[in-house]
Structure 1
């Protein structure tokens, strides 16, 4: 009990004895052996003798505290007025001849030389102290600061989920002139899809992910959807039925016009793109049927022009739709209005010229790009001679001057690549946007950012946006935002770091040197390969034909058959024993 004055409050603290724990009793007792482990003679050869051995053993950690404070130096500034003096009285210091004679007399004296040599060390020490660098002083403060370390990143800022069903995203398109609207086309082309499945597509406001701003109601599943670059309210689309149509968002979600079935493609429309025209209403479409058709949105009853993607070998040959290549990707650059490029399902890239008079002039170039279908094809918005292709497991950068091989390519990924694009899609400010960066979506849900100026053997940033496959991507015109569509109908809006979206002042010149260097290297390799092929052909033509040895061929066939039969029997025996 603790008692204080009457004016204070008295508190009492109490605790039971059992709450203190077991009582400790101390007594004097000698050491006791608890465990004794005998040595193992077998381990003697593994012992290493250490002599001497210093081991510190302490029950608790050693702690020390020490304070050091140096004596503060006090600095003062003072001035000295020096006048010439120390001359003998019989020497007039104002007479230059007298002072010069006296100086020569003193310099010849031996004591003067010894005195100078003795003072040289102390004078040198004082000079070095005067020229020493103060480590606490800030030097070169007028120089600019070093640039910050680049930190590349990519993260998701918003997610837009399809209401109701979860159909794959087939196309993405941003509103022109840096708009905040994003059009997403959804379609399920699986045979297991019910006939009455929803066929809606959506237009999203990127600031509102709760519900779409407008629901588009196409009569058939929509496979491609593109905004008009000259009109922010109109869109064109391609349908599973082979038809094309267009929308005006001011009139609602119903299509304004559709082409009739007899004028449509024979198969689904995979790509639609606007072309550079005076009216701003002309576009063209492609399909796996091997035909490209040009349309005018004001009148969709008949296409304005048609071209069959059939490469002829001579100028006199005619194109045949039975030999046409199925188109899987379409590319058009507005600054080159008469030319276009298509990617085929067989892996070819074919360059077209709409103004060609003959079939040979309409499709003048061909590139063997990939082993399978070409999923993406796009020219670099700054370097128009170079274009990007995505197919099978690689992404490649090509030059129009090299037709036999690409100049830059990525490593072979473990997962399939589904889409790719330069950043940005449409260059609106060449001095600030990153034209050396291209983006690639993968089947494992990753978005890869490749910068040709920073690293060419690996992506600069790889972001895992989702677990399902990413099928489509479309960068925004600002160069920072990227929309990616997945196989489950979800659109992910990713934001790139500032160093990925903006370019330095020397980036264009550096990228020019890289592309020219790789282009020159590929041309040299192509010339070398042509020489080797020509030499092998000449050797083959000059060699005499070998006579077939039928007996030897029959023995080889019999031996191979016996080995194959033995291998099959062993596999069957192993299987029967395991079961």
Structure 2
């Protein structure tokens, strides 16, 4: 039904009619060119301007009744099934589908639509009427010629008088206009008595005041939106507790874990797990534990892991977790960056606690402040610590495949670009944001931007890769928009985004991985040769150096006791011979076999007789 309403008005109310006539053009003002003004010309790019050719006029005013608008929606889970049909019942849905397919109206509609679709397919196969010629080259050239840059969008400040550090940022999963910020002071015993514990959700369209204040029992170190339900947020507290909020229920947490079963140190990592219910998560802390939770029952963790790389499971030997990483495409694997500079790769589904720690990467001499897998190549991950950012491959554990130069200022956070596989972002303690593109530059960042004067503490990139949020130590969150060259691969996204650039990045990562494998094999070979050479040199030196006095003393003692034992045996034999010689009529031959004693007399034996006895005669006999 079409509704129409015609507004009527008397001719006399229109006023005097306008009479138009032809008139020749006349010159009102003549301004000759002035060449001296060219030096004052300033090129502005881009320029946004608008011109209104006519003045704004209102002939009359109309007052209308206010219209009340209410937003409502329907959650279509299984499609438009009738109310009497249960979508979960396969038998009823099959019977209903067969009934609809036999309907004459349904058959006629399908035949009619099929004819139109066939015509469109044949026409598209003959010629692509939507193809744009020569547009890709021009747009691609514009992107390549444009230098990397960033534009300030907004600055959000901590509304409290006592400023706190913006420890973590989390973008709204459904819209890019909301940002959740966790505020806390991470310095030991630096919390002031009047310091607020609140963290906030900000609406970027009205950033003068927060949209909602979250009131935990302890300052929040981590705050994450639930990717399945944007009304729920997970928080990790400074005292080790876990809490979650439902924005529909207000500013207080819905449930908080008990102190007895929570972490003993601040929760530096809190991540949602891709479960069917959307209520599972896990956390990590510097107390050396990784705990798994279900927010429907925060009274105790569902599972725990002690980060003891000695595989003994002792909490006193555990390494403190400083950052936590999880890739949804690898549901059983996760990684932990520790305070000791070690990266631990774990497997949750392993049977024993010792088997859950699968790999250990030792690369930093200080805490690992950031750990992130490449969204295009999950086997490649980024770590930030000790003034450098390193890129690792899971296949090589001894060293990284690529790394940045060592910065004079500390690096505080880092993340990969969500749209370009070779681009990553780094924040520094001098307030600078660095954007690296290893595909084009390996020694210097593609863009280095001074964001603020205080140290930057946190970093988060939107899913579209265009907006970057940087949190500072004084609670200031700066939003930056990256230029198109840093947030798009190529203008022709359908082909180049999925083929050219990822292929180049993949070749780069594979090349560096192969190179590192060769270097590692060569290093092990040199170590073996060096070890063999050292052992040979040690043997030679040992032979040349004087013997150990203790060894000489032991050897001399052994020889001395051997001589004493031999002398004792000889004397025992001599005494037995003397007793035998005293027997009358018995002859006794000397040791040399050259003389014989009998009846108190000595008789010399000839050499031949001595030879018969098997003894060589003395010289001169």
**What pairs up with 1:490-529 in 2 under 5 angstroms?**
490-504=476-490, 505=496, 506-529=500-523
Partner of 1:174: 171
Residue equivalent to 2:372: 378
Aligned residue for 1:483?
A: 469
What does residue 264 of structure 2 align with? 266
* TM-score, length of structure 2 as denominator length: 0.62
3-state SS of 2:415 partner: strand
Matches within 5 A, 1:531-546: 531-542=525-536, 543-544=538-539, 546=542
Cα gap change, 1:189 to 1:377, in 2 (>3 Å): closer
Residues 337-370 of structure 1 show CA distances to partners (whole Å, capped at 9, x for unaligned) of 1110000000000000011112332101010121
> Which among 151, 155, 161 is matched to residue 155 of structure 1?
151
Contact 1:178 / 1:478 at 8 angstroms: preserved in 2?
no
Matched, 1:364 2:358: yes
Cα pair 1:468 1:487 within 8 Å, conserved: yes
Q: TM-score scaled to structure 1, two decimals?
A: 0.67
What is residue 184 of structure 2 aligned with on the other side?
Answer: 187
Q: Summarize the Cα distance change of 1:232–1:144 in structure 2 as closer, same or farther, 3 Å threshold.
A: closer
Say whether the 8 Å CA contact 1:440–1:447 is kept in structure 2.
Answer: yes
The structure richer in helix per residue is: 2
Q: 1:324 aligned to 2:310?
A: no
Which structure has more RCO (C-alpha within 8 Å, separation ≥ 6)?
A: 1
Shift of 1:192: 3.6
Over aligned residues, Cα RMSD in angstroms? Answer: 1.9
Task: Indicate the SS of the match to 2:159.
Answer: coil
Please, which of 402, 409, 423 is the counterpart of residue 408 of structure 1? 402
Match of 2:341 among 339, 343, 347: 347
Cα deviation for residue 156 of structure 1 reads: 1.5
- Asked if structure 2 preserves the Cα contact closer than 8 Å seen for 1:453 and 1:507, the reply is no
> Once structures 1 and 2 are overlaid, which stretch shifts more, 528-537 or 376-385?
528-537
Q: Who is 1:391 aligned against?
A: 385
Q: How many Å apart are 1:143 and its aligned residue?
A: 11
Structure 1 residue 243, shift from structure 2 partner: 0.6
CA deviations 1:105-146 (Å, max 9, x no partner) are xxxxxxxxxxxxxxxxxxxxxxxxxxxxxxxxxxxx999647
How many aligned residue pairs are there? Answer: 398
Equivalent positions of 1:69-84 (< 5 A) are none
Matched, 1:217 2:189: no
Q: Which residue of 2 aligns with 1:572?
A: none
Offset at residue 154 of structure 1 (A):
1.3
Relative to structure 1, is the Cα distance of residues 548 and 339 closer, same or farther in structure 2, using a 3 angstrom cutoff? Answer: farther
Using the alignment, how far apart are the partners of 1:220 and 1:247 within structure 2?
14
1:446 alignment counterpart:
432
SS of match in other structure, 1:510: helix
Give deviations 1:164-192, integer Å, cap 9, x for gaps.
23111111111113432101011124424
Gaps of 5+ in 2: 1-133, 491-495, 549-621
The 3-state SS of whatever aligns with 1:488 is: coil
Q: Partners in 2 of 1:217 and 1:240 — Cα distance? A: 13
1:201-237 CA distances to partner (integer Å, 9 max, x unpaired)? 1111122221111111111111111111111111111
Deviations, residues 50-80 of structure 1 (Å, cap 9, x unaligned)? xxxxxxxxxxxxxxxxxxxxxxxxxxxxxxx
Q: 2: CA distance between counterparts of 1:143 and 1:335?
A: 33
Runs of at least 4 residues off by over 3 Å? 141-146, 545-550
Residue 202 (structure 1) aligned to one of 197, 200, 203: 200
Counterpart CA distance in 1 for 2:222 and 2:484 is: 31
1:192 and 1:389 mapped to 2: Cα distance?
Answer: 28
Contact (CA 8 Å) 2:305, 2:353: kept in 1 or not? no
2:227 and 2:484 map into 1 onto residues whose CA distance is 26
SS of residue in 1 equivalent to 2:330: coil
Pick from 288, 291, 301: which aligns with 1:290? 288
Paired with 2:384 and 2:395, the residues of 1 have a C-alpha distance of: 19
Q: State the partner residue of 1:574.
A: none
**Distance in structure 2 (CA, Å) of the matches to 1:502 and 1:292:** 37
**How many Å separate the matches in 1 of 2:149 and 2:257?**
45
1:277 is matched with 275
